[in-house]
Chain A
């Protein structure tokens, strides 16, 4: 570990690094400015563009452009804190260790929860899992990815598409994008748009219930009723497998007219898309899942995976997770098919008061799955240890805060989208006493149990990654037929008190639950406050103008938000950005019985004028 002083530079320097924000893992250059009369040490970071990087060719999204600000943030924690008091590492580690031992003595190891986020390296994630399961001996250790969890759970059984490069995408003849891919992961747009404009025969299809910047570019925008994306994908699977004489044996027997009636997408439109995908010699299906955006995101992933297998051309299914090493952390920390190791299940245990101590490695439960019950339960914990680089919504409730390094500040390995394990070299030492999460997990293990070492050998990681899942997608789909039939029969019910659908929306300035991105000055400038978008007809009906405040109510929560106009939104649908905890609270968070992950879908809500006080 380099000394803290080495973070300041007396000369201008440039180091290559990987953007720690999202799963595209874009390359960038961190540079120190030249010393000036005001800044004699030249310690100010700036982001420059790594045009030689094959992933992004120097381009960066708004979040990537702000990485330097994240690393130099004035609220950055640079020393451990116990009860708000700055302490050294031995004292902080001893406090956590003693706190855990006390809870285990009184309530058993099952009263301890360990949650991890997507910024950990592969070895770090496995080390944290080992700390929880072998040292603390709690079964409640899991990654927490409410947006991506349902998809991870499916793909953990099916396997991920591997072996392609980002450059391959611009050679593909067709693309089916599910969700607002360009807003959530702007860097991928370059490859897809190059392909779209290079060849007139290229076809770009977008499946999304609301119009977005991505749907702008679609040759065909499949716009189903909110939450019914899985039905469209199932219809496409049925149509494509039908062309092959039902040889694939998917067993799907959906009435396409009924699907058209339920989703609002015509049979002709579905046939057009299925036909074009079937004729393309190559293509890609991309899914960007977002909290409360797609209905049955896991099932969508299963169907998209199956569709990519059925199509006769060279097709890949690409899921774009939110956080940098989200998929890697998921694979390291979960045992396949074990629903009890899912993060949302542990959150429910915390809400129920069954957990008495929690250690959070780079995760913010109150941003990810906010609820009043969770906030109260976290406040009552005997020990809450928050490990991360910046304060989160959960941080004020923590007795112990431990400063962690951000991606470019530590040597680690991340799993890339195509299955490659990529080195993430340290470009700059962490500030002050901040340390990588893996180092912190090692210190905790050493203090808790003198004889146990949680240091992970890279070979163990490779072995875990090479385990083949081996489930058949057709078999898994048969088990889901009931879900599809139920969704088909759901219709437009649920009117009455909650006549509108709330579909979560993405903002380019934010990613995931916003716990990292809300620290950017840029984010505060362009998306300072949560709001709700509605079309002109709803605004006229409510007799409100842009900027007026309205009350949005669901069965679970009620919130007053400014209303903004959105020209193209279909009737009966409103959208609001999912990065704000206040808006996330509007959504119900049912867990999938089989996987333990959340089964999120657009929420039924009502919009009214707030009552006068």
Chain B
């Protein structure tokens, strides 16, 4: 698969569908030797939502890595080299989305590799395939932008304290 095709595809979370079951996180952990690269965020203790690595075009985590363990590979995926990472957590600090978990496992920081072993074969990342409610999808970024999709689902808006006020 070419660099462009994988590089343009992103994991989209439909907030309306997520039931907070953590299947995505389990699939990630079980398939990566218990390295968990998918953190969950709580929304006012009312919902738990997965927070995926965006594989940013201009990735701050790559820029911040002092050992160059984080690099963008030939498929456009930001990956961490396991032997070069020293677990300094600079990337955790640098990530603007807070998707890198600061918990170290075997002295390295876990990092989403977009299940490159599956994606290069035309499959979806494991978190997307396993998603029980259909909240996670693996879509072409250009299509998402064309649809002008509202990323904040009605569920969140409906329960939002700002709306209540």
| A residues lining the B interface (CB < 8 Å) | 46-47, 49, 51, 56, 58-62, 64-66, 68-69, 182-183, 186-187, 189-190, 193-194, 197, 213-214, 216-217, 508-509, 521-522, 525-526, 565-568
**Looking across the interface, which residue of chain A has its beta carbon closest to that of B155?**
A216
**CB pairs A–B below 8 angstroms (5 shown):** A60-B130, A62-B21, A65-B26, A68-B30, A213-B47
Check B46 against A567 for contact (C-beta < 8 Å): yes
Check B129 against A194 for contact (C-beta < 8 Å): no
**Looking across the interface, which residue of chain A has its beta carbon closest to that of B135?**
A193
Tell yes or no: B27 within 8 A of A by CB.
yes
Check B132 against A187 for contact (C-beta < 8 Å): yes
CB neighbours (8 Å) of A216 from chain B are 19, 46-47, 155, 159
One digit per residue, 1 when the CB lies within 8 angstroms of any chain A CB and 0 when it does not, for chain B 129-165 equals 1111110000000000000000000010001000000
Number of contacting residues on B, CB 8 A?
A: 29
CB neighbours (8 Å) of B30 from chain A are 46-47, 65-66, 68-69, 522
Check A525 against B16 for contact (C-beta < 8 Å): no
Tell yes or no: B90 within 8 A of A by CB.
no
Tell yes or no: B22 within 8 A of A by CB.
yes
Q: How far is the CB of B120 from chain A (nearest CB, A)?
A: 15
CB neighbours (8 Å) of B19 from chain A are 182-183, 186, 189, 193, 213-214, 216-217
Tell yes or no: B2 within 8 A of A by CB.
no
Check A521 against B129 for contact (C-beta < 8 Å): no
CB neighbours (8 Å) of A69 from chain B are 30
- The answer, among B26, B46, B130, for a CB contact under 8 Å with A522, is B26
Tell yes or no: B45 within 8 A of A by CB.
yes
Interface members, chain B 36-60 (any A CB < 8 Å): 36, 44-48
Tell yes or no: B29 within 8 A of A by CB.
yes
**Looking across the interface, which residue of chain B has its beta carbon closest to that of A533?**
B45
- The answer, among B16, B17, B31, B131, for a CB contact under 8 Å with A46, is B31
Check A508 against B45 for contact (C-beta < 8 Å): no
- Docked Cα-Cα span, A189 to B129, in Å, equals 15
Given contacts A62-B26, A182-B133, A216-B46, 10 further A-B contacts (CB under 8 A): A46-B31, A49-B129, A59-B130, A62-B22, A64-B23, A65-B26, A182-B19, A183-B21, A186-B133, A197-B17
Most buried by A among B19, B47, B131: B19
Check A190 against B133 for contact (C-beta < 8 Å): yes
- Docked Cα-Cα span, A68 to B29, in Å, equals 13
CB neighbours (8 Å) of A65 from chain B are 23, 26-27, 30, 130
Tell yes or no: B20 within 8 A of A by CB.
yes
CB neighbours (8 Å) of A190 from chain B are 132-134
Q: How far is the CB of A479 from chain B (nearest CB, A)?
A: 38
- Docked Cα-Cα span, A217 to B22, in Å, equals 17
**Looking across the interface, which residue of chain B has its beta carbon closest to that of A567?**
B45
CB neighbours (8 Å) of B29 from chain A are 521-522, 525
Tell yes or no: B34 within 8 A of A by CB.
yes
- Docked Cα-Cα span, A391 to B90, in Å, equals 42
List the 4 closest pairs (A to B, CB-CB), nearest first: A62-B26, A186-B21, A567-B45, A186-B132
Most buried by B among A49, A217, A567: A49
- Docked Cα-Cα span, A193 to B131, in Å, equals 13
- Docked Cα-Cα span, A565 to B44, in Å, equals 11
Check B23 against A213 for contact (C-beta < 8 Å): no
Check A193 against B134 for contact (C-beta < 8 Å): yes
Check A49 against B21 for contact (C-beta < 8 Å): no
The answer to whether A197 and B22 touch (CB under 8 A), given A65-B30, A216-B155, A567-B45, is no
- Docked Cα-Cα span, A69 to B33, in Å, equals 11
